A and B are shown apart, each in its own frame.
Chain A
Amino acid sequence: AQSVTQPDIHITVSEGASLELRCNYSYGATPYLFWYVQSPGQGLQLLLKYFSGDTLVQGIKGFEAEFKRSQSSFNLRKPSVHWSDAAEYFCAVGGGLTGGGNKLTFGTGTQLKVEL
């Protein structure tokens, strides 16, 4: 069964500092990996995704993530955090459903706080 581990429940960084959020996955085949962000009371917004090819993927809002198969990791990074980045971040692994749908299995999330 597929699973995702986000070891950091809370992270606090200063505005302008760099950020790395950790994600480890377990999946039997080539994984489809995603990072979503959720602001309070809101749904999930896709930041970036990895399907295949270049292991460094770029997303929206200046985020990037690197897929490392040997470490089963897909860590999210941003070189300089803005106060508006404060939110909860979810890593997810996707797999095929009957008919080709994409079932996402999410981690428990990392709550990011940004200090001004």
Chain B
Amino acid sequence: DTGVSQNPRHKITKRGQNVTFRCDPISEHNRLYWYRQTLGQGPEFLTYFQNEAQLEKSRLLSDRFSAERPKGSFSTLEIQRTEQGDSAMYLCASSLASGGAGANVLTFGAGSRLTVL
């Protein structure tokens, strides 16, 4: 168990560019989540996968954002035409389906920090 791995850890880009973040969850976990955390705030839910299916998306996930989990393992989060308001820490978490929803404990990665100039 190597934990949840996120790359890159830091990304600085210019407004209008596209960026992609990758998340490698704990290998046996079938659920994967993306959250966004801005300065001084708690993380906010963006989207959620069970295996390769994207089951829920937050209203925060505008049409410039797309997330995929093509083989039910790693996931990517792409932001197109970045804006300064996209500057944040993007956190990935994974969990293993067991019992009820409450038993679903999320393990978080260290995050990918995006700075849009």
A residues contacting the other copy or chain, number (CB 8 A): 31
Asked if A101 meets B91 with Cβ closer than 8 Å, knowing A32-B102, A46-B105, A95-B101, the reply is no
Q: Does A75 touch B at the CB level, under 8 Å?
A: no
- A100 CB within 8 Å of chain B: yes
Interface majority SS (helix, strand, loop, mixed), chain A = strand
Residues of A within 8 A of B44 (CB): 106
Q: Which of B51-72 contact A (CB under 8 A)?
A: 53, 55-56
- Smallest CB–CB gap between B31 and chain A, Å? 5
Please classify how large the interface on chain B is, using the bins under 10, 10 to 19, 20 to 34, 35 or more. Answer: 20 to 34
CA distance A45 to B6 in the complex (A): 15
In whole angstroms, what is the CA distance A98 to B44 when docked? 17
**Nearest B residue to A9 by beta-carbon distance?**
B40
Q: A residues near B, CB below 8 A?
A: 4, 32, 34, 36, 41-46, 49, 51-52, 90, 92, 94-109
Given contacts A94-B104, A104-B43, 20 further A-B contacts (CB under 8 A): A4-B42, A43-B111, A44-B43, A51-B102, A94-B101, A97-B48, A97-B101, A98-B48, A98-B55, A98-B56, A99-B55, A100-B97, A101-B48, A101-B50, A101-B55, A101-B101, A102-B31, A103-B48, A104-B35, A106-B43
